[in-house]
Structure 1
Amino acid sequence: MSRVRVAVQIAQERAGYEGIRRAASEADRLGADAIFNWDHFFPLGKDRDGKHFEAWTMLGAWAESTSRAEIGTMVSSVAYRNPDLLADMARTVDHISGGRLILGLGAGFRAWEAEQYGYEFGSPAQRVEQLGNALQRIERRFAALNPPPTREIPVLVAADGPKALRLVARHADIWHTFAKGEALGEKVRQLEGYCRDLGRDPGEIERSAFVEGDPWVVGPALRKHGVGLFTVITYGPEHSLDELRRWLAWRDEQAG
């Protein structure tokens, strides 16, 4: 059975940066295993006019203001940045943070947002193809950078469709899924099959999911499917960490 880790996603919407920084520092102090933001340009939901900040410049700041937790995006759309540049950005944050970056990647899903910033937003099949191309380019760029990353930067891929799961099997260190219940079990079986086709041990890929609710109920149900990374989400402007505290208590109980 995989280890249990607990993370928090600090959604950088509807809040000033001082509050976001305070939440990240407190999550680090509490013992979160990872602290994520998200890669959006506007708040989610119907109200698109609220405060919002960009993800990667924020990660550079978190690399200095936190000291122990891994940090990353959950997740960066590969359509929003040249993949070679994104690899360089990731390598730089990796060095600033002392080797604590997780590179979270996805195909993107918010057409309106992409169009507002002038990015093309293709069909689902085109976006998955773009994700596959980006993963290959990022791997090549990591190998060419001077200095290289401080470690093999863990690559997290958010995916649930068959073609995207094949990319997870080939490239990812962490698989983030949105599936629940029986659907999650089916996705796990698909991923394990794709890993077998490639001759890869599926146990090498950490499984990740967003969570809410009672960890003593929700956690064991996800553990049955091998989930090891549990991420709670906190929203502005308050960015309460009460749910994170509950999940950390559950994590520590599992370790005991």
Structure 2
Amino acid sequence: MAFPIRIGVQIQPQHAPEYGLIRDAVRRAEDAGVDIAFNWDHFYPLYGDPEGAHFECWTMLGAWAEQTSRVQIGALVTCNSYRNPELLADMARTVDHISGGRLILGVGAGWFQKDYDEYGYDFGTVGSRLNDFGAALPRIKSRLAKLNPAPTRDIPILIGGSGEKKTLRYIAEHGDIWHGFNDVEAYRHKSAVLAEHCAAVGRDPETIERSSGLQYSGDTDQLLRDAEALAAEGVTLLTVGVTGPDYDLTAVEALCRWRDSRR
């Protein structure tokens, strides 16, 4: 399958002392032409002041579903550990309906220990979290198929991560979109491993959309070179993160212009 180039922005729900700053960032991102607005599923900032302002992921997505009219929305990514899989499926179905069919269900195994410790979840080990994630994915899909009313369509499942033994196998089995933070060389290797997992389950790897995060350090030319290099390898969803309180969209706007120049 040929997927179009799409631009995402991860509006990180940290360091915004008032929710209005996030609401404004979502409005500006949609006006700038992004294809997808993501947040993330954490309870504390990931950088900057570790006790800084922070808002919750899924209640926010419900608000975005009402606020926006064009962009797709989702978490990059939801932590599997924080919600029962059936509940997560029901939440996703509900936000999908509120948005008129614009939700991407981004999920991952979880990794940020402070969230677990402060909110009373069992952190376990990398292996146990991945095993739990693997068990949750078919439960999510099963519940989505049972809900009344049903989702507006088959909600795309984005899986974040690049672990070769488990995560890439889960993507081959259940994922519609694979998201990772990989440079070109790492991406080539991981893509080959994913193709092996797809062959094992009888799936065409070209049916999985490829997604990657981009780092922006203030050098727009370098950002666009990185985007071009990944696009040449088949990555079609490119996302850059922005943080509060300012939510500077300079990189996002440059990526949208780059996308449009390729059409």
Bucket of the pairwise TM-score, normalised by the shorter protein: over 0.9
Quote the residue 2:74 is aligned against.
72
CA drift of 1:184 comes to: 1.4
Structure 1 CA distance for aligned equivalents of residues 99 and 54 of structure 2:
23
Quote the residue 1:6 is aligned against.
7
Alignment of 1:178-189 (within 5 A): 178-189=181-192
**TM-score normalised by the chain length of structure 2:** 0.94
Among all aligned residue pairs of Structure 1 and Structure 2, give the percentage whose two residues are the same amino acid.
50
Q: For residues 92-116 of structure 1, what are the alpha-carbon distances to aligned partners after superposition, in whole Å with 9 as ceiling and x for unaligned?
A: 0000000000000000111121111
CA drift of 1:46 comes to: 5.8
Structure 1 CA distance for aligned equivalents of residues 42 and 158 of structure 2:
17
CA drift of 1:5 comes to: 0.3
CA drift of 1:218 comes to: 1.1
Structure 1 CA distance for aligned equivalents of residues 144 and 68 of structure 2:
24
Structure 2 CA distance for aligned equivalents of residues 111 and 240 of structure 1:
28
Query: What is the aligned residue count?
Result: 255
Alignment of 1:25-104 (within 5 A): 25-45=27-47, 47-104=49-106
Which secondary structure state, in structure 2, belongs to the residue aligned with residue 169 of structure 1? Answer: helix
Quote the residue 2:129 is aligned against.
127
The question of 1:219 aligning with 2:227 is answered yes
Structure 2 CA distance for aligned equivalents of residues 18 and 38 of structure 1:
17
Which secondary structure state, in structure 2, belongs to the residue aligned with residue 227 of structure 1? Answer: coil
Structure 2 CA distance for aligned equivalents of residues 120 and 179 of structure 1:
29
Q: For residues 129-161 of structure 1, what are the alpha-carbon distances to aligned partners after superposition, in whole Å with 9 as ceiling and x for unaligned?
A: 111111111001001100000010000000211
Which secondary structure state, in structure 2, belongs to the residue aligned with residue 91 of structure 1? Answer: helix
Which secondary structure state, in structure 2, belongs to the residue aligned with residue 119 of structure 1? Answer: coil
**TM-score normalised by the chain length of structure 1:** 0.97
Alignment of 1:74-223 (within 5 A): 74-162=76-164, 163-211=166-214, 212=216, 213-214=220-221, 215-223=223-231
Contact persistence 1:209–1:227 (CA under 8 A): yes
Q: Higher mean Cα deviation, 38-47 or 65-74?
A: 38-47
Runs in 1 of length 4+ with deviation above 4 angstroms? none
Contact persistence 2:184–2:233 (CA under 8 A): no
Q: For residues 33-71 of structure 1, what are the alpha-carbon distances to aligned partners after superposition, in whole Å with 9 as ceiling and x for unaligned?
A: 000000000011262211100000000000000100000
Quote the residue 2:250 is aligned against.
242
**Any gaps of 5 or more consecutive residues in structure 2?**
none
CA drift of 1:199 comes to: 1.3
Q: For residues 176-198 of structure 1, what are the alpha-carbon distances to aligned partners after superposition, in whole Å with 9 as ceiling and x for unaligned?
A: 01221311110010001111111
Q: For residues 227-248 of structure 1, what are the alpha-carbon distances to aligned partners after superposition, in whole Å with 9 as ceiling and x for unaligned?
A: 1000011110000111100000
**Any gaps of 5 or more consecutive residues in structure 1?**
none
The Cα RMSD (Å) is: 1.1
- Residue type of the partner of 1:113? D
